[in-house]
Amino acid sequence: MHRATIKELAAGLAARRYSSVELARHFLNRINVLNDKYGCFISLDPAATVAQAEAADRRIAAGDAGPLTGIPIAQKDIFCAAGWLTTCGSRMLANFRAPYDAHVIERLNAEGAVNIGKTNMDEFAMGSSCETSWFGPVRNPWDAERVPGGSSGGSAAAVAARLAPGATGTDTGGSIRQPAALSGICGLKPTYGVVSRYGMIAFASSLDQGGPMARSAEDLALLLNGMAGHDARDSTSLERAAEDYTRDLGRPLAGLRIGLPREFFAAGTAPEVLRAVEAAIAELARLGCERVEVTLPSMKLAVPVYYVLAPAEASSNLARYDGVRYGHRAAAYGDLAELYTRSRAQGFGAEVKRRILIGTYVLSHGYYDAYYLQAQKIRRLVARDFARAFERCDAILGPTTPTTAFRLGEKTDDPVTMYLNDIFTIPANLAGLPGMSIPCGCDARGLPIGLQVIGNYFAEARILNLGHQYQQATDWHTRAPAGIETN
């Protein structure tokens, strides 16, 4: 069962080849065997999972099932789920049980999906390797000595190791697409505002966006159908008519213009990555796509702009964790100021503290105009560059990451090098555009390589079809890491 895609599992449930309870227990057994090796999950609640599966079986028996009914889904531990531990990978929230469901959780529950567990992540989604979690690092199923990417690394590794057929993630600067690439799965960041942020613990509110992670573009479309929708509780949630993101799957690619920015193919990207991406582009050309050269001149400023804006928003969002209302509280303190400082010093890890300090600095008097305001202006230039490029093309393609998965600990002492791993993913967040990563090859060590596809606003169905058509012609998305077969 763990070898099947979401669509295949749904067909099996409909045909009564197995029940949702059997499916849930199968994946729980795999998690019990493999989770210590990879560190994908922070918390499980088998009783709650089986209860959801039993309810799903009743819906299936009553003829009230949808495409996700009875399907086990891993939830990134940034989404509040009523009664579940919701830690955000931090000591600050290590004992926090959410009193309500995030909108994404509500939507998936309404579809009859089954919460299989909460996945590990970089603390407060701040990281590119899943090494900053209070609960320990996540390991890449393709090589347990390497990172799975971050911050949604637990979700990516869980799908790659076949511990869940699909998972939720969040993407602030590439945190769905980058781990999808390094872990050999598919991941989609929708247009900003398509998926509600209600109940999704905030990092950088103008950049954060929830999205699906799975083994195929088709499965991403099914998951996005369940996750997307307007939510009045989120002021940035877009009030739009419901879409069927599977509607274009199967549409021929003839005449589709794929833009190739020269900035995505510059020096600094591993030759093996470039060769795999070029081979994928050649395959898409064979399927009827037309290559178009475009340029994104402001892209070189995207990383520094992001690391002004995101920490600035983080410093504001994380001010609520003060040791008073909820979260970690220091055991000993003399006065209120000491309660704040000790609780925050103990509750936050090094990377979170670094970003809070940077954010507070760029928002401070005398530096706001020089840093924060300038960064906002450049953000508009990034969006303008994309708008001009989309006048000439229908989708923009390139590598998702400049390298394949790096070794655990390799970049933890050099934050700037770590930050540069998101150089190709950050621009889409700054502009609010949808972006997807799909597997397109492997390097000489057998480590996965990701192809990034960026679409214009609300073009999710188009880029999902591009990925689907590519996957009908290739088998990179079907390959699995060695050593994950247990039963």
Segment 419-431 shows an average pLDDT of 95
Please state, in angstroms and rounded to a whole number, the distance separating the CA atoms of residues 473 and 199: 39
What is the arithmetic mean of pLDDT over 463-487? 94
* 151 part of the active site: yes
User: What integer is the mean pLDDT of 132-160?
Assistant: 98
Residue 30, by phi and psi: left (phi above 0), alpha (psi -120 to 50) or beta? alpha
Region of poorest pLDDT, from 74-88, 210-224, 408-422: 408-422
pLDDT at 186 over 80: yes
76 assigned to active site: yes
Number of other CB atoms surrounding residue 80 within 10 Å: 23
> What average pLDDT does this structure show over 415-422?
90
Token pair for residue 466? Answer: 């591009």
Over range 167-181, report the average pLDDT: 98
CATH architecture group of domain 6-257+463-478: Alpha-Beta Complex (3.90)
Give the domain ranges of the chain.
6-257+463-478
pLDDT greater than 70 at residue 69: yes
pTM: 0.97
Reported as a single tens digit per residue, the pLDDT across 4-37 is 999 999 999 999 999 999 999 999 999 999 999 9
Distance of CA 237 to the CA centre of its chain: 18
Mean pLDDT value across residues 253-275: 95
| pLDDT over 70 at 487, yes or no | no
> What is the percent of the chain with per-residue pLDDT over 90, rounded to a whole number?
96
* Set 19, 90, 152, 175: catalytic member: 175
Q: What is the mean pLDDT of residues 124-147?
A: 98
Does residue 266 surpass a pLDDT of 90?
A: no
Q: Distance (Å, rounded) from C-alpha 430 to C-alpha 172? A: 9
% the chain with pLDDT above 70: 100
How do residues 329-364 score in pLDDT, each as one tens digit? Answer: 999 999 999 999 999 999 999 999 999 999 999 999
> Which of 96-110, 207-221, 404-418 has the least mean pLDDT?
404-418
The pLDDT score that the predictor gives to residue 127 is 95
Catalytic residue among 76, 118, 189, 411: 76
Residues 144, 445: contact at Cβ < 8 Å? no
Specify whether the CB–CB gap between 46 and 38 falls below 8 A.
no
Three-class secondary structure assignment of the chain: CCCCCHHHHHHHHHCCCCCHHHHHHHHHHHHHHHHHHHCCEEECCHHHHHHHHHHHHHHHHCCCCCCCCCCEEEEECCECCCCCECCCCCHHHCCCECCCCCHHHHHHHHCCCEEEEEECCCHHHCCCCCCCCCCCCCCECCECCECCCCCCHHHHHHHHCCCCCEEEEECCCCCCHHHHHHHCCEEEECCCCCCCCCCECCCCCCCCCEEEEECCHHHHHHHHHHHCCCCCCCCCCCCCCCCCCCCCCCCCCCCCEEEEEHHHHCCCCCHHHHHHHHHHHHHHHHCCCEEEEECCHHHHHHHHHHHHHHHHHHHHHHHHCCCCCCCCCCCCCCCHHHHHHHHHHHHCCHHHHHHHHHHHHHHCCCCHHHHHHHHHHHHHHHHHHHHHHCCCCCEEEEECCCCCCCECCCCCCCHHHHHHHHCCCHHHHHHCCCEEEEEEEECCCCCEEEEEEEECCCCHHHHHHHHHHHHHHCCHHHCCCCCCCCC
What is the model's pLDDT at position 268?
87
User: What pLDDT was estimated at residue 228?
Assistant: 98
pLDDT level of residue 483 (50, 70, 90 thresholds): confident
Residue 486 has pLDDT above 90, yes or no: no
Q: What average pLDDT does the segment 259-284 reach? A: 95
